[in-house]
Amino acid sequence: MIRQFELVERVREYNPNTDEALLNRAYVFGARAHAEQTRLGGGPFFGHPLEVAAILTELRLDDASIVTALLHDTIEDTAATRDEIARLFGAEIADLVDGVTKLTQLELTSSETAQAENFRKLLLAMAADVRVILVKLADRVHNMRTLDPLAPDKRQRIARETMEIYAPLAGRMGMQSIRVELEDLAFEVLNPEARTSLMRRFLKLKRDTGDLIPQISAEITEVVAATGVGVEVQGREKRPYSIWRKMEEKQTSFSQLSDIYGFRVLCDAEEDCYRALGAVHRHWRNVPGRFKDYISGPKANGYRSIHTTVYGAGAMRVEMQIRTRAMHEVAETGVAAHWAYKDGHRAHNPFAVDPFEWLRELVERLEKGDEPQEFLEHVKLDMFTDQVFCFTPKGDVVGLPRGATPIDFAYAIHTNVGDHCAGALVDGRRVPLWTRLRNGQQVEVITAEGQTPSPHWEDMAQTGRAKAAIRRALRERLREEQAGLGRDLAEQSFARAGRSGGRKAFAAAAAKLGFASLKAMLVNLARGEVTGRQLVEAVYPSQPKGAGSTPPEPDSANTPPKPIVRGIRRGAAIRFCTCCWPIPGDRIIGLSRKGGVVVHAISCPLLAEFEDDLEHWHDLSWDPEASKKASNVARIDLTLANQPGTLGTVCSLVGEQQANIDNLGVTTRKPDFFLMSIDLEVRDVKHLSDILTALRAQSFVNQVERAITPPEHEAEEAAGEQPRLPLGSSPAPRN
């Protein structure tokens, strides 16, 4: 077990500015909290948090992450609380510890519905702070290293969870060193016989051929050095699980595998990588189809490297990865490189990806799933699968899960390409869309304008992105069919009512009925959730019997009755603003002016001039009697097509709505359209809204709105009555 001063010294090596007092306080707090606890193996429990912290020092993480590792089990396993940790160590560390605790409590191998919800929680924790996952992965590494004391069934459960969830997650985050170790530790538990057999064959191979790694490393160094490029060569035997997986995929035996050694060639600069590659290919013959350039086309998790395989001595295949030291750091630690410290400061690695970038993309894609099972399917397909890398005709690299088809490739390029995919050429040959793609293949998607996704594409696709896009396209196609049926039903309903239908009439009905769009209303009509009669009534509402049948009684001056307003003392003179044209149903305000009170709608722009003069404001309301007769004047502005019969149709529609045209005037006349203003006598705001809806439904009406006259063009208010517009003239400017 690592000791306190050793942990502090490790952190100080890469971060001389570390807060040693904070680390020591966390050590003491954790040691006291876990003082009476032991692990199943018999050792002190606090040894586990210490080792987790030690793993994080290898990633050169910040003080907050190290402290979180020391405290990550305190909330769950001791009497310590989140508030206590926040008080002693700050809110940032308390949030991290709480996040790790919540992840620990997830049962990631439960039923599908619960598992999908747990994955959502996992992603939320990652979105809040990626360091939560880094601590959790280190925690899982140490737990896997110390599985022996557990019961066999529990070891199996933890190992399977590690293989299915945490190892692929580490890989998706670019943390290959942790992924490889987790896979191999889980493989040892899940298939110990296979691992033991592979280890024995390795030992026999070493006895027969000797240790080839130093020999090959020296030869690579010498070959590259001859070009003037200084490199560091790291050789290794591939891990048992990696070899076993390759044997399973290729259905081959250990003796038939030739690339069981891997070498990393580390250079100082990017251009040195390509010079080293040239030296290697000049000295050894490369294996066709085994070259990939991830420097020019990085993987989504930030991985950059040149991969090549050559034939070495005795026709043995030698796999090489050529990259810079900065690229190597990202290849080993992934998003953790974003948090790494060096010499007391956050280390800037130009190849480290933003840890939230790929997570944001994943969350956006997963949120499109309609059901928990669909969400879970997306997670497994997009995060927890091995990848193959194919090329576009332009040489761009597209990463896909193993077993992907040209359909997945098409949707990976763009949704429109996928939706119109009519076929594919793989390495120049036409192949069926269900063909499984292999590493290194060039894929060209053939598109056709009239092509649309087919239901059986969903069974062919392997990626969550493709499956989700296909489902959306199929749902949209169904909606289009339902909208077409709804349009036919709407036309029939308007025809039966003796009214003209068409897109404008339907759009007016959709707006009146509160639908988000015309298509939404038509789909609902096809589904029977709204009736055709409701559509017709929305545009041409039936008038109640007797409504508007009694004409207004004119006074001696032959003017319409005055609207009745409450809130003004009896006998006070009333005038109505000719800027906002208030009618019953509008919220109204009165302003004391010379000669009486002027009534304004609350939205009137003139009120802004009197914001600081509130003592002259009156809160008014309409008397219920005001809306019983169509005697309130409202002005509307129309833009009409200049064609025969339009004005007559407008007048007819107004009459059908039991309203009266009090005055009208053409303000602008053009060859193809004219603008006009009409004064209507209406009951109230609802009555006016019905008229506007009926007008908007007409094809020849380009625009119709309730008039708001700008203050600078406001006509003089006529005492006691709403004003009239002189026929054929514009409103007079205000004095």
- Give me the active site residues, please: 76-77
Strand 317-324 relative to strand 397-401: parallel, antiparallel, unpaired? unpaired
Phi, psi of 451, rounded to the nearest 5 degrees: -75, 140
Rounded Cα–Cα distance for residues 527 and 534 (Å): 14
- Residues with Cβ within 8 Å of residue 646, at least 6 apart in sequence: 640, 700
The pair of three-digit structure tokens given for residue 698, joined into one six-digit string: 């007409």
In our burial notation (b when 16+ CB lie closer than 10 A, e otherwise), range 11-38 reads beebbeebbeebbeebbebbbebbeeee
Strands (E), 150-251: 232-237
Rounded Cα–Cα distance for residues 590 and 604 (Å): 11
Rounded Cα–Cα distance for residues 719 and 595 (Å): 9
Rounded Cα–Cα distance for residues 292 and 700 (Å): 63
Rounded Cα–Cα distance for residues 88 and 19 (Å): 14
Dihedral sign for Cα atoms in the order 330, 333, 339, 340: negative
Helix (H) or strand (E) holding 423: strand 421-426
Smallest CA-to-CA distance from 381 within 357, 417, 408, 415 is with 408
378 neighbors 464 (Cβ within 8 angstroms): yes
Smallest CA-to-CA distance from 662 within 630, 639, 684 is with 630
Rounded Cα–Cα distance for residues 405 and 604 (Å): 62
Rounded Cα–Cα distance for residues 110 and 105 (Å): 12
698 neighbors 690 (Cβ within 8 angstroms): no
Helix (H) or strand (E) holding 680: strand 673-682
Strand 565-566 relative to strand 443-447: parallel, antiparallel, unpaired? unpaired
The pair of three-digit structure tokens given for residue 148, joined into one six-digit string: 């022996």
Smallest CA-to-CA distance from 26 within 71, 76, 74 is with 71
Rounded Cα–Cα distance for residues 306 and 304 (Å): 7
Which 3-state string (H, E, C) describes 387-398?
A: EEEEECCCCCEE
Number of neighbours of residue 672 by Cβ within 10 angstroms: 7
User: Cα–chain-centroid distance for residue 324?
Assistant: 34
Strand 261-267 relative to strand 317-324: parallel, antiparallel, unpaired? parallel
Smallest CA-to-CA distance from 66 within 98, 13, 123, 27 is with 27
